[in-house]
Structure 1
Amino acid sequence: MNKTYFKRENSISILGCGWLGLPLARYLLKKSMAIKGSTTNSKKLNELKRFGIEPYQISFDPNINKNFNQEFFHSDILIVNFPPQRRQDIESFHPLQFKSLLSQIRKSTIRKVIFISSTSVYANTNGLVYESNKINPEKGSGKALRLVESMLLQEKGFKTSIIRFGGLIGYDRKPGRFFTGKKDLKNGEAPVNLIHLDDCIGVISHIIENELWGEIYNACCPEHPNRKDFYEAAAKIHHFQIPEFNSGKSNYKIISSKKLIEETHYNFQFESPIDALKF
């Protein structure tokens, strides 16, 4: 992890303590932060409490659950970490979820927000993609994320920073199993856009530490091996059957993290996703 220092007075609420949110909360706790965490599942409340996280049950369907505790929003910083659901009406449903969320933030003590977005907000341009790219994506989930990003950035009562993460890998997410034993896979030479869990936590911490508010950052490993090389390496490391890819590439994008690296001086722990496969 990049070395980080946090203001003692900062309290942080993490909306969505799942695969990323829970280890993020545990990391921030080690920095002597006061951490509140939410889950949609009542069975996970005790798990959060066991780790020292103040637990809350919160869900949006699309309105916030009626029995939620408003104390969750009594923090300095809110980290919003719940992705669009897989549903046909996601382009209308996800903004409605955020309409409900925004109504709670407006009457809270929160003045800074980190929104965990995704590189799915970008269309396949067959080239480099930067934060300034405005071309709408093809998928509904990407379009929904574009909408809620805009909703957050338009708010005047708090500052939002958006992190557009690439595909998440690390620890129990072993990409070698994705295509194990499959043959005749397309786009073998297309680049991958991935980031390890430790760098996800590192980037979020870096933004808080350096007060990088009101910004949008892409966050992917700076190196982009092609699909064939990456998934072959992943299969070998974790002893899965090696997939077979066709040559050629089309309908791809290369996510640039240049802004994050050059403007904020963040140092990636894993320059290449191949380096991250053992962790």
Structure 2
Amino acid sequence: MQNQQISVLGCGWLGLPLAKRLISKKFIVKGSSTTQTKKPILIEAGIKPYLFKLGDNKREQYQKFLSGSQIIIINFPPKRIPNIKSIYQEQIKDILPHITPSQKVIFISSTSVYQDTNDWVTESIETKPEKDSGKAILAVEELLKSKLKQNLTILRLSGLVGYDRIPGKFLANKKEVSNGKAPVNIIHQDDCIGLICAIIQKKCWGEIINGCADEHPSKEIFYTKAAKHANLTPPEFKISELSKFKKISNTKSKSILNYSYKYPNPLALFD
């Protein structure tokens, strides 16, 4: 693994600490951002900085950013804007011509590609996303699979928490919140990074893998405890029966990657 080069497309909340972890493992890391103010932060971390926005058609920049890297990590979500599906696909199409047949790619996807099943969800089910963001992400998954085939691994992450992403803020002070008995699907930033590093270490290519904590407390219990932990007013939930939900299975991630989650129980975040 050592001295290989990796390009991390999107050095934000997840990409920046991921790049730092990869550097600690002796990888050479190129990292991209869309903002000039991020450049000194990347340099200080030991990341080779590249500034561009996908969709600006900066082919020379894309090529320089991807060139020489054995592994490319595509890590930026679609913006919640009109025509999200077509715009997100066009952004990815900008870089696809510059990915060579010898390069491996990890696409950071989302469990929003799954529909509510009122049951456990594994990687093998037929995906029928219900929200525009999920439809956009699934369309990009299909685009990448058609071009990269077995050189691609897709990591579908559940709701992201950890450090400055404090779940207690999400529903604090809300009234009449619905579906409080539904199980939550959560993953901590450290486990996101751990899964990505495991994929690289084990050279696990050509796979689709879910990332989610082992335990699935109810929405009401989780967000009430999260709000209290953050010294915020807990949300108030409607008294109702369990309605639509899904429970993301992480069994494949643990078996194929031999991965043990650092935060298997989301409620332990608030102890």
TM class by shorter chain equals over 0.9
**CA distance in 1: counterparts of 2:38 and 2:225, whole angstroms:** 35
**CA distance in 2: counterparts of 1:265 and 1:157, whole angstroms:** 24
Query: Which segments of 5 or more consecutive residues in structure 1 lack a partner in the other structure?
Result: 1-6
CA displacement at 1:261 relative to structure 2: 1.2
User: Aligned with 2:99: secondary structure?
Assistant: helix
Match of 1:256 in 2: 249
Match of 1:267 in 2: 260
Match of 1:182 among 160, 174, 177: 174
CA displacement at 1:231 relative to structure 2: 0.6
The total of aligned residue pairs comes to 269
Match of 1:68 among 37, 61, 69: 61
Residues 110 and 158, structure 2, Cα contact 8 Å, conserved in 1: yes
Give yes or no for the alignment of 1:83 onto 2:77: yes
CA displacement at 1:248 relative to structure 2: 2.3
Match of 1:232 among 224, 234, 238: 224
Q: Deviations over 1:148-195 (max 9, x none)?
A: 111211225860100000010001111111111222211110010110
**CA distance in 2: counterparts of 1:157 and 1:252, whole angstroms:** 31
TM-score by structure 1 length? 0.92
**CA distance in 2: counterparts of 1:212 and 1:12, whole angstroms:** 15
**CA distance in 2: counterparts of 1:64 and 1:128, whole angstroms:** 41
- What percent of counterpart residues are identical? 45
TM-score by structure 2 length? 0.94
Change in Cα spacing, 1:28 to 1:147, as seen in structure 2 (3 Å) is same
Residues 168 and 195, structure 1, Cα contact 8 Å, conserved in 2: yes
Give yes or no for the alignment of 1:148 onto 2:147: no
Residues 196 and 276, structure 1, Cα contact 8 Å, conserved in 2: no
Give yes or no for the alignment of 1:34 onto 2:40: no
Match of 2:86 among 88, 92, 100: 92
**CA distance in 2: counterparts of 1:72 and 1:66, whole angstroms:** 10
Q: Which runs of 4+ in 1 moved over 6 A?
A: none
RMSD between aligned alpha carbons?
1.6
**CA distance in 2: counterparts of 1:67 and 1:155, whole angstroms:** 21
Change in Cα spacing, 1:166 to 1:156, as seen in structure 2 (3 Å) is closer
**CA distance in 2: counterparts of 1:43 and 1:182, whole angstroms:** 35
User: Aligned with 1:186: secondary structure?
Assistant: coil
Match of 1:11 in 2: 5
Q: Deviations over 1:195-242 (max 9, x none)?
A: 000000000001001111110001000110000110111012111112
Letter of the 2:75 counterpart: N
Letter of the 2:106 counterpart: I
CA displacement at 1:69 relative to structure 2: 5.5
CA displacement at 1:70 relative to structure 2: 2.5
Residues 150 and 206, structure 2, Cα contact 8 Å, conserved in 1: no
Change in Cα spacing, 1:201 to 1:80, as seen in structure 2 (3 Å) is same
CA displacement at 1:58 relative to structure 2: 2.3
Residues 176 and 235, structure 1, Cα contact 8 Å, conserved in 2: yes
Match of 2:153 in 1: 161
